[in-house]
Amino acid sequence: MKVYTSYSDAELAGLIRVGDAAAFTEIYNRYWPKLFLHSRHMLSDDDQAQDVVQEVFSWIWQHYQDVNLNQSLSSYLYGAIRNKVLNLVKHEKVKALKFADIAAYMTSGQHGLDEELNYQELVRIIDDEIALMPPKMREIFELSRHSDLSHKVIAEQLGISEQTVRKQVQRALRLLRARLGMQTPAIVAILYLIKNH
């Protein structure tokens, strides 16, 4: 029986190229914690860091025949993480700028067709992110966002403490901030504008 934990990185990389699932699992277990820390250091966000590492490993397994290791496995993996993070940051910056432009158009009251289409895209993205929230958090956030209920009224309506409501709303805003690449005041302003559009 093969003991994969005793294999070198080079041996494991060779086995991955022929589709050896156990070799892939060993590399995953060996490198996942290190790559997660590396990714989190660059992103300062646990969820995004986990997603980046997971996507890199998923790509490697799905394209194992195309993995070209002209360098050490360690260098390849760290390089893949860095590239993924840079692409993510670039995408988030572009998205944040686009959202800022949309907010500016909405507040100016001058809506052209392109801005209206961008606005609809923004609404869809935010609604999609809210739909991914845990059920209780989503319920509380939507009562706060759509119904304009105070934290006290929501707490009474749901039979929970006002502090729980406050924390859930804050967590929901943090999730949106992480996903949209925007600061909380900008998100609150956009949610207000969407509701009153």
DSSP string, the chain: ---GGGS-HHHHHHHHTTT-HHHHHHHHHHHHHHHHHHHHHHH--HHHHHHHHHHHHHHHHHTGGG---SS-HHHHHHHHHHHHHHHHHHHHHHHHHHHHHHHHHHHHT---HHHHHHHHHHHHHHHHHHHTS-HHHHHHHHHHHHS---HHHHHHHHTS-HHHHHHHHHHHHHHHHHHHT--HHHHHHHHHHHHT-
Has residue 181 got a pLDDT over 70?
A: no
Confidence bin at 100 (pLDDT 50/70/90): low
Residue-range domain boundaries for the chain? 4-89, 111-195
Confirm or reject CATH 3.60.21.10 for domain 4-89, answering yes or no.
no
Has residue 6 got a pLDDT over 80?
A: yes
Confidence bin at 194 (pLDDT 50/70/90): low
Q: Tell me what pLDDT residue 54 has.
A: 92
When comparing pLDDT for 21 and 147, which is higher? 21
**Architecture field, domain 111-195:** Orthogonal Bundle (1.10)
Backbone angles phi, psi at 39, to 5 degrees: -65, -45
Could you report the per-residue pLDDT of 27-59, keeping only the tens digit for each? Answer: 999 999 999 888 887 777 788 888 889 999 998
Could you report the per-residue pLDDT of 145-175, keeping only the tens digit for each? Answer: 777 778 888 899 999 998 998 898 888 888 7
Question: Contact at 8 Å (CB) between 98 and 118?
Answer: yes
Could you report the per-residue pLDDT of 64-89, keeping only the tens digit for each? Answer: 777 776 678 888 898 888 888 877 76
In angstroms, the Cα distances linking 152 to 135, 158, 164 are: 19, 10, 10
Q: Tell me what pLDDT residue 39 has.
A: 84
pTM of the predicted model as reported, rounded to 2 decimal places: 0.48
Q: Tell me what pLDDT residue 197 has.
A: 47
- Distance, first Cα to last Cα, the chain: 65
Q: Tell me what pLDDT residue 18 has.
A: 86
